[in-house]
C-alpha cells in the first residue's frame, strides 16, 4: 500500500511538472503573454560550435523568460506583495504612501533616492569638472554663433518626498541636483534653468493637481508646462498660468512603475492631463502669443520615429532650436515645437554633434533629469566623438 502511494505521488509530481507546459502549448494563445517588464526578453539561442560553453546559460535565460504562465505568475506575486505586504516585488519600483510609487534603480539608472537624501553629493573636484566641461562647450558653440542652455529637471523623489516610505530622510539640506545647479549658477555665467522653485510654488498654488505621475517615474504635462514656462522666461516670453489653459483630466492611467511590477492591467488609478493648446486634438490658440500648432513634422528614423523629430511653426519665436533630451523631454516636444520657428529634438541615445551642425540651430539645449546630471560631464566627449 505504501509503495503504491509513493508511486502515485511520483506520478502526480511529474503530471504537475509537465501539465503547465502541455496546457500552455495547447491553449497559450488564450492567455496574456504581454511583456510588461520594459526590457527585451531573451531570444532562443541556436546551438553551434561557437557557443557550446555558453549555450546552457543562454538557453536557461531564454527558458526563464518564456516559462509557461510566466506573466500570470508574476502578476500573482506582484498583487500579493502590493495588496497584502505593501511591498514591491520589483526592487526598481518603490511603494510610497497614498498610492505614490517611486523609481529606485539604486545606481543602475541613476539613484533617485540617494539624490534626494544627499548621500551621493559631488566633491569639489567633480563640481569643477562640470564648470570646465560646460563652459568649454558654451565657448565652442558661441564661436559658431550658437547659444548654449542647460535645462535640469528635478527628480520626482525630490518634489514629492513627503510620500516616500519611511526611512528615507535626507542627510543634506540640498539634493545632488540642487548642489550642481547652485554651483554652476554661482560660479559661471552659464544659462542653467532649474524649475524646482516654480514647481514647488505650483504644487502649493494648485493643490488639486499632481505635477508628476503617481504611478510613473516622469512628470506629467502639468509639470512639464510649469518647467517650460520657466524655460521660456529665458527669452523674455511670458506664458499664461494654468488657470488660463484648458485642462482635461483623463483617469485610468497606469505608468511605467506599475508596468515594472507587471500590474498594468490592475493599477489604473493615475491621471493624465491634456493641455490645450499643447495637444494634437486642439486647434491653434491664437489668443496666446507665439503659439501655433500648424507645423509640419518630419520623423528621422535613427532608432525609432521619436528619437529625432523636426518641426516648423508658422508663428514661433524666430529662432532655430536644437534640443538633446532624455525621457523627461518627451512631454516638452509639443510645447517647444509650438514656440520656435524651427525645432529639432533628439533623444540623447541618438545624439551626435553632426546633427547640431546639420541643423545649424541658433540655440542648443541639453535637457537632463536630476538623476542624469552626471551625464553633463560626458557631453564634451560626446561632442568630440565624430
> Quick check: 223 pLDDT over 80?
yes
Contact criterion met (CB below 8 Å) for 237 and 290: yes
- Quote the pTM value: 0.80
Task: Determine the pLDDT at residue 350.
Answer: 77
> Quick check: 251 pLDDT over 90?
yes
Task: Determine the pLDDT at residue 265.
Answer: 85
pLDDT digits (tens, 9 = 90+) for 345-360: 888 877 877 788 888 8
Task: Map residue 306 onto helix, strand or coil.
Answer: coil
Task: Determine the pLDDT at residue 288.
Answer: 28
| Count of Cβ atoms closer than 10 Å to residue 346 Cβ | 23
Measured CA to CA in angstroms, residue 67 lies from 22, 47, 63, 113, 252 at distances of 12, 20, 6, 33, 30
pLDDT digits (tens, 9 = 90+) for 353-384: 778 888 889 999 999 999 999 888 766 554 44
Residues found in the chain: 386
Contact criterion met (CB below 8 Å) for 372 and 112: no
Measured CA to CA in angstroms, residue 121 lies from 111, 163, 373 at distances of 11, 22, 11
> Quick check: 285 pLDDT over 60?
no
Task: Determine the pLDDT at residue 46.
Answer: 82
Residues 6+ apart with CB under 8 A from 91: 104, 106
> Any idea where the domains of the chain sit in the sequence?
122-166+174-249+276-383
pLDDT band, residue 25 (cuts 50/70/90): low
List the one residue out of 252, 260, 269 whose CA is nearest residue 81.
260
List the one residue out of 236, 103, 123 whose CA is nearest residue 179.
123
Pairing of strands 363-369, 147-153: parallel
Task: Map residue 190 onto helix, strand or coil.
Answer: coil
pLDDT band, residue 12 (cuts 50/70/90): low
Amino acid at each position: 500500500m505504501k509503495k503504491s502511494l509513493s508511486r502515485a505521488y511520483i506520478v502526480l509530481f511529474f503530471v504537475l511538472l509537465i501539465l503547465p507546459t502541455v496546457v500552455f502549448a495547447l491553449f497559450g494563445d488564450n492567455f496574456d503573454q504581454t511583456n510588461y517588464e520594459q526590457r527585451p526578453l531573451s531570444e532562443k539561442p541556436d546551438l553551434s560550435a561557437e557557443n557550446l560553453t555558453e549555450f546552457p546559460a543562454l538557453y536557461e535565460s531564454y527558458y526563464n523568460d518564456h516559462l509557461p504562465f510566466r506573466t500570470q505568475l508574476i502578476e500573482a506575486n506582484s498583487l500579493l506583495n502590493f495588496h497584502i505586504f505593501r511591498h514591491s516585488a520589483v526592487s526598481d519600483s518603490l511603494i510610497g504612501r497614498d498610492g505614490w510609487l517611486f523609481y529606485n534603480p539604486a545606481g543602475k539608472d541613476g539613484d533617485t533616492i540617494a539624490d534626494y537624501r544627499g548621500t551621493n553629493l559631488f566633491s569639489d573636484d567633480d563640481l569643477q569638472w562640470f564648470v570646465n566641461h560646460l563652459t568649454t562647450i558654451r565657448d565652442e558653440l558661441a564661436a559658431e554663433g550658437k547659444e548654449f542652455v542647460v535645462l535640469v529637471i528635478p527628480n520626482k523623489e525630490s518634489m514629492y518626498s513627503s510620500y516616500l516610505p519611511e526611512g528615507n530622510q535626507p542627510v543634506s539640506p540640498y539634493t545632488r541636483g540642487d548642489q550642481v545647479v547652485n554651483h554652476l549658477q554661482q560660479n559661471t555665467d552659464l544659462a542653467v534653468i532649474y524649475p524646482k522653485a516654480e514647481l514647488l510654488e505650483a504644487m502649493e498654488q494648485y493643490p488639486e493637481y499632481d505635477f508628476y505621475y503617481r504611478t510613473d517615474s516622469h512628470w506629467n504635462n502639468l509639470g512639464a508646462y510649469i518647467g517650460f514656462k520657466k524655460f521660456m522666461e529665458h527669452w523674455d516670453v511670458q506664458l499664461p498660468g494654468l488657470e488660463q489653459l484648458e485642462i482635461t483630466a483623463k483617469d485610468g492611467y497606469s505608468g511605467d512603475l506599475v508596468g515594472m511590477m507587471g500590474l498594468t492591467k490592475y493599477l489604473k488609478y493615475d491621471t493624465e492631463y491634456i493641455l490645450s493648446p499643447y495637444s494634437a486634438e486642439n486647434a491653434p490658440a491664437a489668443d496666446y502669443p507665439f503659439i501655433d500648432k500648424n507645423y509640419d513634422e518630419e520623423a528621422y528614423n535613427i532608432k525609432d520615429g521619436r528619437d529625432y523629430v523636426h518641426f516648423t511653426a508658422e508663428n514661433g519665436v524666430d529662432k532655430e532650436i536644437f534640443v538633446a533630451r532624455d525621457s523627461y523631454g518627451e512631454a516638452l516636444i509639443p510645447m517647444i515645437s509650438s514656440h520656435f520657428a524651427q525645432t529639432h529634438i533628439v533623444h540623447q541615445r541618438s545624439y551626435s554633434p553632426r546633427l547640431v551642425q546639420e541643423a545649424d540651430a541658433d540655440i542648443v539645449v541639453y535637457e537632463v533629469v536630476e538623476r542624469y546630471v552626471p551625464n553633463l560631464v560626458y557631453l564634451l566627449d560626446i561632442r568630440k566623438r565624430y
